Amino acid sequence: MSEILVKNATEIATTVGGIKRGGALKELYLIHGGSIYIKNGLIQSIGELDDFEHLIAGNPEIIDAAGMTVTPRFIDAHTHLVFAGTREDEFSMRIGGATYREIAERGGGIKKTVKDTRLASKTELVETAGAYLEHALRNGTTTMEVKSGYGLNLETELKMLEVVEELNQIQPVELIPTFLGAHAFPEDVSRDEYIQSILDMLPSVSGKAKFCDVFCEEGYFTIDESRAILEKAKEYGLSPRIHADQLTSNGGAKLAVEVGAVSVDHLEHVTDDEIEILAQSDTTAILLPGVSFFLNYGYPPARKIIDAGCITAIATDFNPGSCMCISMQMVMSIACTQMGMTPEEVLNASTINAAYSLGLTNVGSLETGKQAEVLIMDVPNYKMIPYFFGENHVNTVIKKGSVVWTR
């Protein structure tokens, strides 16, 4: 395993300790002119090189980070990475003023992606998702949650989860699979039949997914249906996540706390009462500002959510319909300019808190003994990352102690 010394960084910017709530989300630990010694996949030392140079026994690869900023790598805790086809025609229609219903009537929307994904072979899906992952990696994401949900039948849901399994064997971005059979209702079976069918899929998908997610929203899955699916999923060892309060305020965030969900995602229409309940819980609020940007609708009340003390993370929600963006740097910038989050908050929300929402404890910050998951960015300080937006600042990506991408 490779041994690396990242030395002389103009700035190292990381959180220390565990998850960050409330005012602590702004806390960053900065080292100027510091170095990081990496061996056996772990951070062995971090700080002033003079303090630990005597511990370096071997002949490490030296990376001179002068002029650059070193941060933990990004964790994208909400994506729909695996899908066939794209929807740029629908994008043009939307810009032209077409409504969601008109787009659906002309064969667009999620139904198009379900149709294309059912028809695609596993090999085709591995190729397209693998190509998107190359974008994610060079933009600094090395861990990503990935949902199924474009199959809406057992055969294709399993195919999607198997694509995730295969991608984990052949490329460096670590993927964490979520079963999202409850993404929409398919056209070929009745509503009741499909709810039963999701419950019947759980034993088959349980070995292939870590989480179970539900699109809890008016016109999609009701509170009672979502509860029934998530409670049953828990019996099969799948921890709940919920898409909630995206288009309307329907109590999905409350349900998330009730079922002990690890995350509740979206929250554009979350109420003050629900924010209070969330703040008392261990459920992570995952905000997806790229969706509001791309669809041009209201943003979640990030300031209220953070200031109330909710564990807050941000993610891309990469998908072909509502957010064709796989760059956490772009999402960080949108979160700052449109939701009032600070550069410190977006860094912690993309690293330590995102890690927590996925049940990952040994990553998310640069600390001695933690897995070496490091970004070297071509900017002199961390504030430049969201400030100089629309640009990829990543110079080098280190995953489990090895360089997996460099400019």
Contact call for residues 248 and 269 (beta carbons, < 8 A) = yes
Q: How far is the CB of 288 from Zn ion (least distance, A)?
A: 7
Residue 268 or 317: which CB sits closer to Zn ion?
317
Q: How far is the CB of 213 from Zn ion (least distance, A)?
A: 8
Angle, helices 191-205/154-170, rounded to nearest 10 degrees: 40
Please report, in angstroms and rounded to a whole number, the separation of the first and last CA atoms in the chain: 21
Contact call for residues 147 and 79 (beta carbons, < 8 A) = yes
Strand ranges (E), 171-262: 174-182, 211-216, 239-244
CA torsion angle 373 293 275 340 (round to 10): 80
Residue 65 or 325: which CB sits closer to Zn ion?
325
Stretch that binds Zn ion, among 91-99, 171-179, 317-325, 343-351 (CB under 5 A): 317-325
Helices marked H in 24-74 = 49-52
From residue 282, give the alpha-carbon distance in Å to each of 53, 263, 279.
40, 9, 8
Residue 225 or 317: which CB sits closer to Zn ion?
317
Residue 38 or 253: which CB sits closer to Zn ion?
253
Residue 182 or 341: which CB sits closer to Zn ion?
182
CA torsion angle 281 283 286 292 (round to 10): -60
Does residue 317 bind Zn ion (CB under 5 A)?
yes
Q: Which two tokens stand for residue 331?
A: 């999402």
**How many CA atoms are closer than 13 Å to the CA of 44, on its beta-carbon side?**
21
Residue 45 or 350: which CB sits closer to Zn ion?
350
Stretch that binds Zn ion, among 181-189, 221-229, 311-319, 364-372 (CB under 5 A): 311-319
Residue 7 or 266: which CB sits closer to Zn ion?
266
Q: How far is the CB of 368 from Zn ion (least distance, A)?
A: 36
Does residue 145 bind Zn ion (CB under 5 A)?
no
Residue 141 or 371: which CB sits closer to Zn ion?
141
How many C-beta neighbours within 10 Å does residue 341 have? Answer: 27
Size of residue set near Zn ion by CB under 5 A: 1
Does residue 11 bind Zn ion (CB under 5 A)?
no
Stretch that binds Zn ion, among 63-71, 253-261, 309-317, 359-367 (CB under 5 A): 309-317
Using Cβ positions, the residue closest to Zn ion within the complex turns out to be: 317
Q: Which two tokens stand for residue 386?
A: 């969201």
Does residue 108 sit in helix, strand or coil? Answer: coil
Residue 45 or 117: which CB sits closer to Zn ion?
117
Q: How far is the CB of 389 from Zn ion (least distance, A)?
A: 23
Using CA atoms, how far apart are residues 197 and 185, in angstroms rounded to an integer? 11
Q: How far is the CB of 397 from Zn ion (least distance, A)?
A: 25
Residue 157 or 317: which CB sits closer to Zn ion?
317
Stretch that binds Zn ion, among 24-32, 35-43, 274-282, 315-323 (CB under 5 A): 315-323
Q: How far is the CB of 243 from Zn ion (least distance, A)?
A: 5
Q: How far is the CB of 241 from Zn ion (least distance, A)?
A: 10
Q: How far is the CB of 315 from Zn ion (least distance, A)?
A: 9
From residue 117, give the alpha-carbon distance in Å to each of 82, 128, 148, 393.
8, 11, 10, 33
Q: How far is the CB of 307 from Zn ion (least distance, A)?
A: 25
Contact call for residues 113 and 88 (beta carbons, < 8 A) = no
* Strand-pair partners of 264: 242, 285
Nearest in space to 81 (alpha carbons), one of 140, 139, 127, 138: 127
Using CA atoms, how far apart are residues 163 and 175, in angstroms rounded to an integer? 10
Stretch that binds Zn ion, among 233-241, 273-281, 314-322, 355-363 (CB under 5 A): 314-322
Residues 84-123 that bind Zn ion (CB under 5 A): none
Q: How far is the CB of 78 from Zn ion (least distance, A)?
A: 6
Q: Which two tokens stand for residue 159?
A: 């195919």
Stretch that binds Zn ion, among 89-97, 300-308, 313-321, 355-363 (CB under 5 A): 313-321
Stretch that binds Zn ion, among 111-119, 158-166, 312-320, 360-368 (CB under 5 A): 312-320
Nearest in space to 71 (alpha carbons), one of 368, 375, 386, 343: 375
Residue 110 or 202: which CB sits closer to Zn ion?
110
Contact residues toward Zn ion (CB under 5 A) are 317
